[in-house]
Amino acid sequence: MTHLLFAEGKFLEVISVNFWQMIISILNLVILYFILKKFLFKPVKRTLEKRRQQVDDLYGSAETAKAEAESAKEEYTAKLDRADESARKIVSDATRRANERAEEIVDEAKSEADRLRRRADEEIAQEKKKALNEIKNDISDISVEIAEKVVGREIREEDHREMIDAFIRDLEDGDRV
């Protein structure tokens, strides 16, 4: 098989220096430098930077969320404290009012009892008075009857009643004196 196409079938010496080949080699290296810079390092570094930024952002938002949670917790604790306090206040108010009411009720009951007793006393006094009056009448009637019997004649009741009443009044006065 012979060499094909445009190959000359010639070889370089093992060590042969050629100016243009060195220039080409330098250019190759420079080209590869730009290729790697543009197509490998730049995108990868941008991705790494972006990832770092995202992580930073995540940390930042986590911190914010934590701070928010802390403040919310404080707020709720304060609210709970306030609720406790108001509940205590409500209970104590209710207790106080209940005590007051109880005292009121007791006072009312006492005054009612007093009132009832006073009325009872008044009634008793009236009854007594009535009874005394009746007794007085009875005594005068009986005295008149006795006197009739004693005198043996009919004494005009109207004539003597005044006299007897005066007698009884005298008696009462005498009692008093």
Partner 1 sequence: MKTEPTKTDARETDAPISRRDRFLTRLWLVLMLLPLVGGMLLNLVLTPPSEGITVTGAQIYFTLSLPFENLPAPIRDLPITESQVNSALVLLFLFFFCLFLTQGLRTRGKSARQVLAEFIVEKVEGFVSGTMGAGYDGFPPFVCAILMLSAFSSLLSLLGLYPPTSDINVVGGWAILVFFMITRYKLKAGFGSYVKGFLEPIPVLAPFNVLSEFSTPISMAFRHFGNVMSGGVIATLVYAGLAGLSTIVFGWLPGFLGEIPFFQIGLPAVLSVYFDLFSGCLQAFIFAMLTMLYISLAAPEKESA
Could you say whether residue 59 binds partner 1 (CB under 8 A)? no
| Gap between the Cα atoms of 141 and 149, Å rounded | 12
Could you say whether residue 28 binds partner 1 (CB under 8 A)? yes
| 61-78 CB burial, b ≥16 within 10 A, e <16 | eeeeeeeeeeeeeeeeee
Size of the site for partner 1 (CB under 8 A): 49
3-state secondary structure of 153: coil
Contact residue for partner 1 among 54, 64, 77, 92 (CB under 8 A): 54
| Gap between the Cα atoms of 94 and 108, Å rounded | 20
Could you say whether residue 78 binds partner 1 (CB under 8 A)? no
Could you say whether residue 24 binds partner 1 (CB under 8 A)? yes
Could you say whether residue 64 binds partner 1 (CB under 8 A)? no
- Residue 152 is classified by DSSP as T
Residue 63 vs 85, nearer CB to partner 1: 63
Interface residues with partner 1 (CB under 8 A)?
A: 1-26, 28-33, 35-37, 39-41, 43-48, 50-51, 53-54, 57
